[in-house]
């Protein structure tokens, strides 16, 4: 039986905070030996020469983590002040292989070295990857695209560290080592995980097909300009929905989602990869998006606001609640929290409401990683979760 424990400390002194986390989490885990320890800390803490204490005190086989601007614990998000969050996972039947990704600029392209070897029967082995990257040096989209092509439906969950202001300042934890570029991660086998990617948006109107476009510019949707299509959606909407659309246009909350799996006959919530509407050509009605405007793709307008984000996360957590969740890692966008919601601790509270007081740790990321439609992507304004099951 899998076992999990977590602890959160807001002590300003690094040694005190680490001691509090290790003591509380170890006590909660009992006699089980953790296969994996995951540690997140705010920039207030200097963990140089401290990571070995986690190994020594818990007996954990592997350690993964990073410095982030805000950290998450069970039911709580610390957005200001020092904080440290530790999560332990005893996975007696699982295999965990840590890895370190390094990036080299070749003449023609970037090369990412260090991707772990993945067995051909990965799908039968309940294989998944946790990864944490440096936003200044790690080409996450490039690496994920290669994985998606080689290993379809292999879930990758994690986030980009948010505790740095410039290249070379990130702090990624890889065992007892701290690195400041590339990415670190762990390949898990025989560990049952449910993934949740809540992109905080909901579709408006019906899906449409891109009928003309180039690069990242959509010129026509279903034979009409995108803005003409949006105008029809607006005219057919109820008054309350019209207000939401108007607010989205004013605040940058209007997005476009493309269906990842075109075999789905009736795509709905969770089937769209959400990307921003970057600009509008008022003369032609065309729009620029944060994606390729590939002719033939099915897309839908979406709106993103606090109410939509709350509804989306709660619905997706409810759908995963039947899988006996026992522990979770949460990677929330640093644009969420009190920057999006009226009350603090929103995402952490939603997880607690859905799953109870299970051990949780996480951080506010500068880009969240998780699967949509069976493929892995980097997201924004998203809550991406790895929910570990009891067996």
Tokens of 143: 């690496």
Q: What is the pLDDT of residues 124-163, one digit of tens each?
A: 899 999 999 999 999 999 999 999 999 999 999 999 999 8
pLDDT of amino acid 321: 67
Whether 315 has a pLDDT exceeding 70, the answer reads: yes
Tell me what percent of the residues of the chain surpass a pLDDT of 70. Answer: 99
Tell me what percent of the residues of the chain surpass a pLDDT of 90. Answer: 83
Radius of gyration (Cα) for the chain, nearest Å?
21
Whether 319 has a pLDDT exceeding 80, the answer reads: yes
The pLDDT-based confidence of 179 (bands split at 50, 70, 90) is very high
CA–CA gap between residue 276 and residue 288 (Å, rounded): 9
CA–CA gap between residue 324 and residue 321 (Å, rounded): 6
* b/e 9-24 (16+ beta carbons within 10 angstroms → b): bbbeebeebbebbbeb
Task: Return the number of other C-beta atoms located less than 10 Å from residue 92's C-beta.
Answer: 11
Phi (first) and psi of residue 343, to 5 degrees: -115, 150
CA–CA gap between residue 254 and residue 234 (Å, rounded): 13
Q: What is the pLDDT of residues 72-123, one digit of tens each?
A: 999 999 999 999 999 999 999 999 999 999 998 877 778 899 999 998 899 8
Strand order from edge to edge, sheet including 36-41: 3-9, 84-90, 36-41, 62-67, 172-174, 177-179
Tokens of 3: 């076992």
Beta strands 172-174; 156-160: pairing state: unpaired
CA–CA gap between residue 65 and residue 49 (Å, rounded): 15
Q: What is the pLDDT of residues 209-245, one digit of tens each?
A: 999 999 999 999 999 999 999 999 999 999 989 998 9
The DSSP secondary structure of 146-177, one letter per residue, reads: HHHHHSTT--EEEEE--S-SSTT---EEETTE
* Best CA proximity match to 98, nearest among 121, 120, 115: 115
Q: Name, in order, each residue with C-beta under 8 angstroms of 383's C-beta and a sequence gap of 6 or more.
A: 196, 197, 198, 200, 313, 330, 331, 332, 333, 336, 347, 368
Contact, 332 vs 72, CB < 8 A? Answer: yes
Torsional sign, CA 239, 336, 312, 292: positive
Q: What is the mean pLDDT of the chain?
A: 93
The DSSP secondary structure of 17-69, one letter per residue, reads: HHHHHHHHHHHHHTTPPPSEEEEEE-TT---TTTHHHHHHHH--SEEEEEE-S
């Amino acid at each position: 039986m899998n076992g999990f424990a977590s602890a959160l400390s807001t002590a300003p002194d690094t040694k005190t905070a680490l001691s509090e986390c290790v003591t509380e989490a170890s006590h909660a885990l009992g006699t089980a030996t953790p296969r994996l320890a995951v540690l997140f800390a705010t920039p207030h803490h200097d963990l140089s020469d401290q990571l070995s204490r986690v190994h020594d005190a818990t007996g954990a086989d592997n350690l993964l983590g990073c410095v982030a601007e805000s950290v998450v614990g069970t039911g709580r998000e610390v957005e200001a002040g020092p904080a440290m969050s530790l999560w332990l996972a005893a996975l007696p039947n699982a295999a965990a292989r840590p890895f370190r990704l390094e990036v080299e600029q070749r003449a023609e392209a970037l090369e990412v070295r260090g991707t772990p070897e993945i067995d051909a029967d990965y799908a039968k082995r309940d294989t998944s990857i946790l990864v944490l990257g440096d936003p200044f040096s790690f080409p996450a989209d490039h690496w994920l695209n290669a994985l998606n092509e080689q290993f379809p439906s292999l879930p990758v969950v994690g986030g980009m560290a948010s505790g740095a202001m410039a290249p070379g300042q990130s702090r990624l934890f890889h065992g007892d080592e701290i690195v400041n570029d590339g990415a670190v991660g762990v390949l898990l086998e025989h560990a049952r995980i449910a993934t949740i990617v809540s992109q905080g948006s909901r579709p408006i109107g019906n899906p449409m097909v891109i009928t003309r476009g180039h690069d990242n510019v959509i010129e026509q949707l279903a034979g009409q300009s995108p803005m003409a299509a949006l105008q029809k959606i607006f005219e057919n909407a109820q008054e309350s929905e019209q207000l939401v659309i108007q607010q989205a246009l004013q605040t940058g909350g209007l997005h476009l989602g493309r269906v990842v799996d075109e075999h789905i006959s009736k795509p709905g919530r969770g089937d769209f990869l959400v990307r921003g509407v970057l600009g509008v050509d008022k003369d032609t009605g065309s729009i620029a998006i944060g994606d390729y405007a590939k002719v033939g793709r099915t897309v839908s307008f979406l709106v993103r606001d606090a109410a939509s984000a709350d509804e989306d996360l709660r619905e997706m957590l409810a759908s995963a609640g039947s899988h006996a969740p026992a522990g979770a890692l949460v990677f929330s966008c640093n644009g969420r929290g009190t920057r999006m919601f009226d009350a603090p601790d929103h995402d952490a509270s939603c997880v607690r409401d859905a799953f109870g007081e299970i051990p949780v740790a996480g951080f506010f990321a500068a880009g969240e990683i998780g699967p949509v439609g069976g493929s892995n992507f980097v997201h924004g304004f998203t809550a991406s979760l790895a929910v570990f099951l009891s067996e």
